[in-house]
Structure 1
């Protein structure tokens, strides 16, 4: 059955809302409820979220566990930060591939409230203040206009969660049919879309800045690529963005497991397109 994705700042009430949802569905349905989250992994969150590689590994483990538990009969609740839009997109692809609905519950708090709640916890389960601030800065808020963030239920700290509306969203909506892009998406590669978006944007900015001092025929180095862009003429940003959109569309249909290859692939694509 469906996936409910929790989302919010650290110490924003996600686990409390997860427990409320679990209790509601246990009382009103005969479905089995699986809660997947950081707490089940017994990780030290200050060590994990301060290290990008460890954080990627944890996200991959959580997603793999969601993929393993999502089925036609049970409800899965993912209780984690889920603060990266690319990661939420991958979860959307996962549920689309499994042909089951999903929804997002966004626990909306201010940084001050989250900080106060964090300080009120026992010392051994607190985030450090520096890490909490860093995670807040990195947080990418969900947007209901994005299909992977919809349907979106935003709940403030004193609100009552819309249990019936959440139930309707996961029980009465048809699951989106799978398509080639979701079937091809490498679900084992955490945060693929986010990396694709960031790397290609960095390449564009490098080219744009290099053109201020280069002349036609120059070779331009870009971040993460061993190959260079050959600038046969000046290219405006609108044209570069067009090529970027085309490349992203193609790469989503033919993804690579190793994101380190994306820069070189994009350079090769641009050099062919700019000929």
Structure 2
């Protein structure tokens, strides 16, 4: 179900707030609450944040864990720095895909305040001064004008969490609409990908092989296409509808590397915009070639 993203400087009270939210929702709802955070990964934070690749791996692990736990029945709280706006955008895309609301809880503290809390921790849990300073310097504060940071709840150290407002943001608000890049694609049939691959390969080979014995200006037949289209600004010379063969005229040879590149692009596009009629794939491919090779 909903996702709560914690955000703030190191040692800004995020974990305490996450626990308070967990307690509130467990007492006031019948939903299970999961806290996903750095602590569950059993890693040394100074080692991780001193190495950009290790830090990236940790973020990926946390995101994957959130994705596994987000569902219609549970509440997930991501208790981590979440200080990079690009990463928060990735999380926003994740909840769009899962079709669930989310909100951001920003634990706002000063550098000095968080630094003091850091030095008061057990030595094993402290950030080194260099790492702490670097994280504060790199911190990208959330902004409610960004859709991935909205709704945003900014909490000072002595504030009481606005539980009802957070609850309303999670349960009384519609999930952001999924777009084509985040939706699971509704393939029209179990054979769609097979047909897509087969038909485009046949069309590609027809164009390529015909060029071996043709000169610019000759007619080339492409299997399966029935629409009247132009290719490279050269118009139809003949259309054999009964044989479902479309004749086009080329003004230059197109090498295999170029054709394969266009085929890969077309397949990627068509997976995102599948047709209910596989018989239209050949027409669509020829149209795509027509536009791409203008």
Whether these two folds match at TM > 0.5 is yes
Partner SS state of residue 7, structure 1: strand
Q: Which residue of 2 aligns with 1:32?
A: 32
- Equivalent residue runs for 1:81-92 within 5 Å: 81-92=81-92
Which digits, 9 at most, give the CA deviation of each residue in 1:90-137, with x for residues without a partner? 000000000000000000000000000000000010000111000000
Give the drift of 1:182: 2.6
Give the structure with the higher percent helix: 1
- Deviation of 1:49 after TM superposition, in Å, equals 0.7
2:172 is the alignment partner of 1:172: yes
SS at match of 1:22: helix
Q: Relative contact order (C-alpha < 8 Å, sep 6+): which is higher? A: 1
Q: What secondary structure sits across from 2:182 in the alignment? A: helix
Aligned to 1:120: 120
Give the corresponding residue for 1:96.
96
Structure 2: gaps (5+ residues): 185-267, 270-294
1:176 CA drift (Å): 1.2
When the two structures are aligned, how many residues end up with a matched partner?
A: 186
Aligned-pair Cα RMSD in Å: 1.2
Q: Distance in 2 between matches of 1:129 and 1:113?
A: 14
Provide the residue aligned with 2:182 in structure 1: 182
Provide the secondary structure at the position in 2 that maps to 1:103.
Answer: strand
Instruction: Give matches, 1:34-183, under 5 Å.
Output: 34-183=34-183
> 1:213-264 CA distances to partner (integer Å, 9 max, x unpaired)?
xxxxxxxxxxxxxxxxxxxxxxxxxxxxxxxxxxxxxxxx98xxxxxxxxxx
Find the aligned partners of 1:108 and 1:99 in 2 and give their Cα distance. 29
* Inter-partner Cα distance in structure 1 for 2:146 and 2:49: 26
What is the CA distance between 1:180 and its match in structure 2?
Answer: 1.1
TM-score of the superposed pair, with normalisation by structure 1: 0.66
Partner of 1:263: none
Q: Aligned partners of 1:123, 1:164: CA distance in 2, in Å?
A: 37
TM-score, scaled to structure 2: 0.62
The CA distance in 1 between the partners of 2:161 and 2:176, in whole Å, is 25
**What is the CA–CA distance in structure 2 between the aligned matches of 1:137 and 1:177, rounded to whole Å?**
34
Q: Provide the residue aligned with 1:230 in structure 2.
A: none
Q: 4+ runs of 1 displaced by more than 2 Å?
A: 181-184
